[in-house]
Amino acid sequence: MDITLRAVRPNIVQSIRAFRVQDLQEAAQHLGQHFLYANLAQAQSKQDVLGLIAAQFTFPSHFGKNFDALYDCMTDPLHKSGQQPGFVVVLEHVPAHAKFDKEAREQLLDIFRDAADYWAEKKIPFRCFYSFL
């Protein structure tokens, strides 16, 4: 199953187009990596997006529902919790409408790009796949 991820750089944020969620989940499991999935189809605003990610990624209850807090939850606390095998992250149905506009979408994806860079420095794979609604 790791064949699915062989052609994908180890630290990247990219569209999910060529992949199925189930295949990515199986590949992560086969590689012993964390699989984080968030379906954002019901989100209408930045707060909704962050709330759904927090709930589906099981962030701590004190999560601040802002982009800085999202970055923090995706990086340092995980690093401090011990050795990490890698991450496959799926953000499915990121909203694309007036309440969550292009700028908000880019900010969200930038957080995951920054997280990918963070993990790259530690030589830990962090692949994030997304789709827009």
How confident is the model at residue 79, as a pLDDT?
61
Q: Looking at this protein, which amino acid is placed at residue 104?
A: A
How confident is the model at residue 95, as a pLDDT?
96
- Reported as a single tens digit per residue, the pLDDT across 62-105 is 898 999 999 999 987 766 677 889 999 999 999 998 899 999 99
How confident is the model at residue 18, as a pLDDT?
86
How confident is the model at residue 132, as a pLDDT?
93
Q: Map out the domains of the chain with their CATH numbers.
A: 3-132 (3.30.370.10)
In this model, does residue 111 exceed pLDDT 70? Answer: yes
- Reported as a single tens digit per residue, the pLDDT across 2-51 is 567 888 999 999 999 989 999 999 999 999 999 999 999 999 999 999 99
